[in-house]
Structures are given as structure tokens and as C-alpha cells.
Amino acid sequence: MPDGGIGASNKRREDVRFLTGKGRYTDDFNRPDQTYVWFLRSDVAHGRIRKLDISAAEQMPGVVKIFTAADFASAGGIPAGWMVTDRFGQPMKEPKHPILAEGKVRHVGDPIAAVVAETRAQARDAAEAIELDIEELPAVVDMRAALADGASLVHEEAGTNLCYDWGFVEDNRDAVDAAIKAAPHVTTLELVNNRLVPNAMEPRAAIGEYDAADDQHTLYTTSQNPHVIRLLMGAFVLGIPEQKLRVVAPDVGGGFGSKIFHYAEEAFVTAAAKAVGRPVKWTSTRSEAFMSDAHGRDHVTRIELATDLQGKFLAIRSTTLANMGAYLSTFAPSIPTYLHGTLMAGNYTTPLIYVNVRAVFTNTVPVDAYRGAGRPEATFQLERVVDKAARELGIDPIEIRRKNFVKPDQYPYQTPVAVNYDTGNYDATMDKLVEIADVAGFPARKAESAARGKLRGLGISSYIEACGIAPSNLVGQLGARAGLYEAATVRVNPTGGITVFTGSHSHGQGHETTFPQVVASMLGIDPGQIEISHGDTAKVPFGMGTYGSRSLAVGGSAIVKAMDKIIAKAKKIAAHLMEASEADIELKDGRFSVAGTDRSVAWTDVTLAAYVPHNYPLEQIEPGLEETAFYDPSNFTYPAGCYACEVEVDPETGVVSVLGFAAADDFGNVVNPMIVEGQVHGGIAQGIGQAMLEAAGYDADGQLVTGSYMDYAMPRSNDVPSYKVDHSCVTPCTHNPLGVKGCGEAGAIGSPPAFVNAVLDALNGGGIAVDHINMPLTPSRVWAAIQAARA
């Protein structure tokens, strides 16, 4: 086996182009005769358009055409990709999401008109010349107010701001109520999972192009899943068949979920390019990104945990209001339901669980998946209430978790919330955590802090997540409007090099490095001989894209399946070349040999024979060496782990400093440890960002008060410590060929509760009794909580 296969920390080959400025992002593409669009967006949260007069603007310099909703009368709305059925068996409310506002605006940033002009500045100038008069309506911002009688309606035709009222598992409702009523102890917590702005480094962009000669549309876009965009936009919005529509998602500078979704701007540039007969380009400004990229989280939750007096969990009841924003974004309905309710068992054997979620329309930016997508919301409430229960019952927070962990001999473990954990070992990750976080040394560190007038705290969390959402037939029953498999084509070239076409899209995950390691290991060749191609519907057969930490578990497995076919065919060719039986052919270190003999042929002998079939079993097999496979997983994968955060609180100012963070994860088998470590680092930084700094805030009028980096606080390097991460606890996934689970979101899932638990440990351990502080734990909030406790 050459170096650099599975298990090697190969350096990311894509970084060479990224770090030398040679990455090719959507905005780097410029098409001949290109025009530019500027969207006139609503500056009020809710209102009726009384007047929209474009006549003066049309006369402005450089204007090519100005579009309003009337130009899209025959187009469909931007669709939701998931239909949730409520607990009474009724479908969710699914009001239309038009490309441009039809008579009403529903959030600040809602596009009303679009000016296509020769330059971006001209388009913007003309947009300001559009005469617009909006009759403001009362804005619905707070979710409870949105559900109150007489509330202003975001969508009148829905008759309510309630999108759905979902119960999971509905049949457990009465049993859970009874168990909580009868329990010796119930710990209750009300909390907010704060709304976040995704803030990918690269703002969204899209270029539409139309070739009238052969009636072909091309969309260049910042997407995590170009095939899904082609399907949603082509079939539901614009009515363009797949063979007439190519979607290219080139280098993409981060997504964190926000670039999964189909956005109105993509449909606009695609349609407008045909209408004006020239390419149309849009690049989001950062200000637009704040008010048009789908936001994340935004749950208000009450969770009750029933236990016995020894801390054994008996039942959980979780009740959540989930903000959908003004329209249903692509996966929005599924996030608080099937990616949230299903995770409420966590790492524990709680026998009875009921989750109720009411999804609410408000006059805010749509909310959808953001790194973790539902799983952080589940983990946060669970790990917070477990910590509170430990404090109330006088049990060590590590011990109460161990007492309730699913044990290694209990797998496969059927939870009361539908999912079935195939494997795991939570005690092993907790043992590792206790070691790397130096839990034993904490009292001494705490005393040292106390001597300086500071309060030191240690926060623990456990998490489980469900990655590689699947299988398709199950998610179809649950309302998904797409399959959740992945596709791969392996094209072996005559001289032995390989191009792998994958439906997984890389936008920070390092696929161009990791996937070749998998292929190289299967053949025993150098990973440098393998290229990864992704992000273009004209090249890749099909793809469901990258989200939910699915790329290696699902996309990687599709590559393995395609490679299995390649190897099977190559063995037939090798058998022919060596006049041996196919059954006797062995593949090792890039050579095919006949078992028990010294006869062998090289990989390249076989690949050349496949394309120059002079000596070839043409009567049995076709020339060429190219195979496609689709892989549909039989279950989710279940990465899990235990995290510890150590903080110091300055009681005089409320400032929290994160002094240490340790993560012990079980990701199953690991292909590239360095990339896995990087994913965990990034995830933890985002989790600490949510817990300590970030919050998208709206005022009562629906104005986004955190519309720029002057007020929206992103984590910087000096906000986070040097992490200690470990992934040596391995229970391989039992149902995919690589035994891998996924690592992309874990850091963002496990870290917020560890951070908050740490701050509360610091306060309570310093004699300041505080039950909870809502994220982000800003200095002002921490100080106010201290004052309230002392009052």
C-alpha cells in the first residue's frame, strides 16, 4: 500500500489553489455580454404594495429591463422540499413564495423588483428611481404573539401564522404526560436557541445564461447541491426540463447549510437571462446576505425531564416554537421536526419521550438548516436540562450522564423517537474526555482562578447526531420530496489515472483530498493519480449534494460501490490477460496477480487493455472502464461524543473567557485525521460563536438590528482556545462499506451546551445561584444574571 490512503493526514490539495488566489468562485465567472441585476428589497417587515412604478427607472442610464412580479406570472413559487404532516394528520400550511413580491412584502429584504442593467452601479441607481409606496402592516416578530388571536397574518390565505403543530411520537403523548405527573422529580427549563446568520465567507452569487441556438439554460450558483437546484428550480419554478438546464456550482466559499436551499435570486437570473437575451449576474453584498440568506435555529423551548431521585431518566417532554420566518425555505419544515425530534433521546436510555413543535410564520428572514440543523437545538435543551437536573439532585454532571448512557451491549438501540442507533460507546468517549480535559486537575485550576477574583467553571456535554439522512423510502414516508442517496461515476482513463465524478459538493470539506484516499486504498495506487470532479450537472450523473455530514458516509459509499464494479471488471480483464481464472485474481498494491503464482499484471496494463482491446475478451465484456453507482443508506449514521468546556467568569464585568475546550468524538473510521480535526475545530468555533457572541436580532417592527458586522458578533481567533480533540474511540458504522459516520457538524452540536454549562458551573460553584442564561452569554447578560442572583 502506498502512503496516503485511508488513515493518512494528507494535506488538502485544494488549498494550493485557494491559498494562492486561484480558486474559481461564482463571482469570478464573467460571461460574454453579461448584464448585472440589482434587487429592490423591502425595507419594511410587512406591508402591502400600493404603488410600484418603474417607468422613470426604466429611463435611467444603462437599464436593460426592470422586472416585477408580473413578469413571473407563469412561474411557480419557490418550493419547500419537505411536507410535514401535523399531529392531527393535516398537511402543513405551505403558502406561495414568489420570486418577486406579489402585492405584499413579508420581511425586510424581500425582493420586490429587479433591475437588469449594463453595470451593477447603474442597476442600483435605477432601483433607487423606482417609485414604491408600501402600506405598512403590523409586523409579526415574536412567535407567541404571532399565534395570539387577532395577530396580523403573514399569509392571509393560510388563515393563521401556524405552519404546523407536530407531535412526535404522538402515540407517546399520554404516557409521557402520565410519567411526568407521577415522577419523583421533574426538572424544567425554558430556553431560547438563538437565531443565527450563517455568514459564509463567500456571499451568494448567481449567473444565468441562455443559449437560444439550442435552447439551453446554464446557472452558475453558490450551491451545496447543484442537482437539487436543477430539480427544484427546473421542475417547480421555471418549468425547464433537466436536459435543458445545466447548473454549475464551482468553488464555493463555505455554506454551513445556507447554500443548500433554492433561492429566488437563482430562479431570477435563469429566467431573466432568457428574457433579456444576455447573461445576468448577481452577487450578494454582505448587507443583502444578512437579510436574504436563510437564517438558522430560532427556537423557543420548554423541556421537562422526569427522573427518579437517583438521577435515572424516566421521561422527557419537549415543547418548542420554531420560527419559519416569512416563507418556507427548502428544508425548513424538516429541521425542527425530523432532524430535531428524532434526536431527543440523545445518548440516553430515557424510555418515554414526546416532542411537540409548532412552526410559526413571522415577518423575518426565512429560517432553515445551519450547521447541525435541528440536532444542535435538540442537544442543547437536553444537555442543559440534564445539567440542571444534576445540580438539583446533587449528582455529578458526568455521573448522571454515565448513569443514563446507552451501554455498548444495548446496540442496536431502538429509541422511543423512531431512530435506531446501530453502534456506539458513550462511556469510552467520556473516559477519553475526562483524560484529555484533565478533569482531575480542575479543582486546582479553579482555586487558582479564585485567587485572582475570577470564577472558573467546567461544563460537560454529550451529544449524538444523525448524519447521512436516509433511507429514501423512509424519508419519503416522512414527507421528503427528494431521495437521499448519492451517486458517483468512476472513470478510469487508458493510462490508469482516474476521474471520480461525485454528487457530493465540496465547499470546505476537503473532498478533493479525502475521496482519492478512499479510491487509492482500494486499488493500492497513489492518490495523486485520482482527480475529483464535482459541482456540475453536465459532468456528474446525479447528486443530492453536501449537508448533514453526509459526504463520506453516503457519497463516499457510492464511490466505493462504483469502485467495486470497476475492480470486478478489471479482474475479468486481468484474468484474460494472464489466461487465469477470474476467481484466482488478487489485487494488491496496484497489481493484479494470480493466487499462488508469480504471474501478475499492473493496474495500468489492465486499464490500457480496456481502451486498446487488442487482447481482450470482447465476447464477454465491453471495452472501457467506467462505472456508476447510486448508494442509498439503510440507516442514519450516529456520530457521538463528549465535550468539556472550561471558562473563567469575571464577576465584576460579566466577561467570559474560554480557557479550554476538549472534544472526544466517535466518528467511526477516519479517512483523513487532519481534515477531521479541522472540521471539529471549525464546528466548535461556530458553537462557541452561537453560545457566546452571535445573535440575529429583530426589533418590534421587524427591522433586523444586527444587519452588519458592527452589531453581529462573529467569533475571532482570540475568542476561542487551543482545542484538545480526540477521535480515537471508534465504533465503526455497521451499515456502510467504509464504517464512517460523519464529522462536519459535531463540533457545532456539542459545544454550545458545554459552554453554557461551564458558565453556570462557574457561577453556581462561586455561590451565585443561576439556573439559566439565554445564548449568547454576552457580558451584559452574565452580569445581569449575577446581579439578579445577588439581589
Instruction: Provide the grid cell at 477.
Output: 414516508
Q: Which stretch binds other proteins (CB under 8 A): 186-194, 261-269, 557-565, 712-720?
A: 712-720
Place of cell 427528494: 482
If the CB atoms of residues 118 and 719 are measured against other proteins, the closer one turns out to be 719
Q: Which stretch binds other proteins (CB under 8 A): 152-160, 215-223, 637-645, 713-721?
A: 713-721
136 interacts with other proteins by CB under 8 A: no
Q: Which stretch binds other proteins (CB under 8 A): 144-152, 547-555, 674-682, 775-783?
A: 775-783
- Alpha carbon separation from 734 to 28, 420, 514, 730 (Å, rounded): 43, 12, 21, 12
Residue in 235, 418, 655, 789 binding other proteins, rule: CB under 8 A? 655
Cα distance between residue 363 and residue 703, in whole Å = 9
If the CB atoms of residues 397 and 654 are measured against other proteins, the closer one turns out to be 654
Is the separation of the CB atoms in 661 and 487 below 8 Å?
A: no
User: What is the total residue count of the chain?
Assistant: 791
We find the least distance from the C-beta atom of residue 712 to other proteins, in angstroms, to be 6
497 interacts with other proteins by CB under 8 A: no
We find the least distance from the C-beta atom of residue 358 to other proteins, in angstroms, to be 26
43 interacts with other proteins by CB under 8 A: no
700 interacts with other proteins by CB under 8 A: no
Task: Compute the half-sphere exposure of residue 135: CA atoms within 13 Å on the CB side of its CA.
Answer: 6
59 interacts with other proteins by CB under 8 A: no
Residue in 657, 706, 764, 774 binding other proteins, rule: CB under 8 A? 706
192 interacts with other proteins by CB under 8 A: no
713 interacts with other proteins by CB under 8 A: yes
Count the site residues for other proteins by CB under 8 A: 25
Q: Is the peptide bond between 300 and the residue preceding it cis, with omega within 30 degrees of 0?
A: no
- SS3 label, residue 346: coil
Instruction: Provide the grid cell at 397.
Output: 454532571
Task: Compute the half-sphere exposure of residue 618: CA atoms within 13 Å on the CB side of its CA.
Answer: 6
714 interacts with other proteins by CB under 8 A: yes
308 interacts with other proteins by CB under 8 A: no
Q: Which stretch binds other proteins (CB under 8 A): 156-164, 210-218, 465-473, 692-700?
A: 692-700
Is the separation of the CB atoms in 350 and 269 below 8 Å?
A: no
623 interacts with other proteins by CB under 8 A: no
We find the least distance from the C-beta atom of residue 587 to other proteins, in angstroms, to be 55
If the CB atoms of residues 150 and 453 are measured against other proteins, the closer one turns out to be 453
We find the least distance from the C-beta atom of residue 272 to other proteins, in angstroms, to be 23
If the CB atoms of residues 55 and 285 are measured against other proteins, the closer one turns out to be 285
Residue in 82, 220, 485, 712 binding other proteins, rule: CB under 8 A? 712
Residue in 652, 700, 728, 788 binding other proteins, rule: CB under 8 A? 652
Q: Quick one: DSSP state of residue 702?
A: -
Is the separation of the CB atoms in 265 and 36 below 8 Å?
A: no
790 interacts with other proteins by CB under 8 A: no
Is the separation of the CB atoms in 396 and 386 below 8 Å?
A: no
Return the C-alpha torsion angle 332, 333, 334, 336, nearest 10: 90
- SS3 label, residue 452: coil
Is the separation of the CB atoms in 247 and 219 below 8 Å?
A: yes
If the CB atoms of residues 57 and 345 are measured against other proteins, the closer one turns out to be 57
Cα distance between residue 532 and residue 514, in whole Å = 10
If the CB atoms of residues 109 and 654 are measured against other proteins, the closer one turns out to be 654
Cα distance between residue 479 and residue 91, in whole Å = 10
Residue in 276, 418, 621, 693 binding other proteins, rule: CB under 8 A? 693
We find the least distance from the C-beta atom of residue 783 to other proteins, in angstroms, to be 6
If the CB atoms of residues 547 and 712 are measured against other proteins, the closer one turns out to be 712
Contacts of 600 (CB under 8 A, 6+ apart): 578, 591, 592, 593, 594
We find the least distance from the C-beta atom of residue 43 to other proteins, in angstroms, to be 12
Is the separation of the CB atoms in 558 and 532 below 8 Å?
A: no
Cα distance between residue 111 and residue 411, in whole Å = 50
If the CB atoms of residues 451 and 710 are measured against other proteins, the closer one turns out to be 710
3-state SS, 86-119, equals CCCCCECCCCCCCCCCCCEECCCCCEEEEEEECC
Is the separation of the CB atoms in 126 and 57 below 8 Å?
A: yes
If the CB atoms of residues 357 and 688 are measured against other proteins, the closer one turns out to be 688
Residue in 198, 654, 737, 750 binding other proteins, rule: CB under 8 A? 654
Which strand (E) or helix (H) includes residue 622?
A: none
603 interacts with other proteins by CB under 8 A: no
Residue in 287, 499, 604, 764 binding other proteins, rule: CB under 8 A? 287
Instruction: Name the phi and psi angles at 745, rounded to 5.
Output: -110, -15
275 interacts with other proteins by CB under 8 A: no
Q: Which stretch binds other proteins (CB under 8 A): 66-74, 273-281, 341-349, 653-661?
A: 653-661
Residue in 73, 201, 710, 791 binding other proteins, rule: CB under 8 A? 710
Closest to 526 in 3D by CA, of 487, 491, 496: 496
Cα distance between residue 200 and residue 421, in whole Å = 32
If the CB atoms of residues 279 and 654 are measured against other proteins, the closer one turns out to be 654
Q: Quick one: DSSP state of residue 152?
A: P
Indicate the angle between helix axes 557-577 and 511-523, nearest 10 degrees.
30
We find the least distance from the C-beta atom of residue 653 to other proteins, in angstroms, to be 6
Is the separation of the CB atoms in 417 and 409 below 8 Å?
A: no
If the CB atoms of residues 127 and 490 are measured against other proteins, the closer one turns out to be 127
We find the least distance from the C-beta atom of residue 449 to other proteins, in angstroms, to be 17
Q: Which stretch binds other proteins (CB under 8 A): 47-55, 400-408, 646-654, 674-682?
A: 646-654
Instruction: Provide the grid cell at 5.
Output: 490512503
152 burial type by CB count under 10 A (0-12 exposed, 13-18 middle, 19+ buried): middle
Residue in 90, 473, 620, 780 binding other proteins, rule: CB under 8 A? 780
- SS3 label, residue 569: helix
If the CB atoms of residues 428 and 695 are measured against other proteins, the closer one turns out to be 695
Q: For the chain, what is the radius of gyration of the CA atoms?
A: 27
Per-residue b/e over 30-69, b at no fewer than 16 CB within 10 Å? ebeebbbbbbbbbebbbbebeebebeebeebebbbbbbbb
9 interacts with other proteins by CB under 8 A: no
Q: Which stretch binds other proteins (CB under 8 A): 83-91, 419-427, 517-525, 649-657?
A: 649-657
Is the separation of the CB atoms in 108 and 44 below 8 Å?
A: yes
Residue in 182, 309, 450, 784 binding other proteins, rule: CB under 8 A? 784
- Alpha carbon separation from 54 to 121, 126, 133 (Å, rounded): 17, 9, 12
| Binding track, positions 68-107, relative to other proteins; x by CB under 8 A | ----------------------------------------
If the CB atoms of residues 515 and 755 are measured against other proteins, the closer one turns out to be 755
119 interacts with other proteins by CB under 8 A: no
If the CB atoms of residues 631 and 712 are measured against other proteins, the closer one turns out to be 712
570 interacts with other proteins by CB under 8 A: no
We find the least distance from the C-beta atom of residue 678 to other proteins, in angstroms, to be 24
| Binding track, positions 721-760, relative to other proteins; x by CB under 8 A | ----------------------------------------
Q: For the chain, give me the number of helices (H) and strands (E)?
A: 19, 28
First-to-last alpha carbon distance for the chain, in angstroms, is 68
Chain positions contacting other proteins, by CB under 8 A? 124, 128, 287, 652-655, 693, 695, 697, 705-706, 709-714, 719, 778-780, 783-784, 787
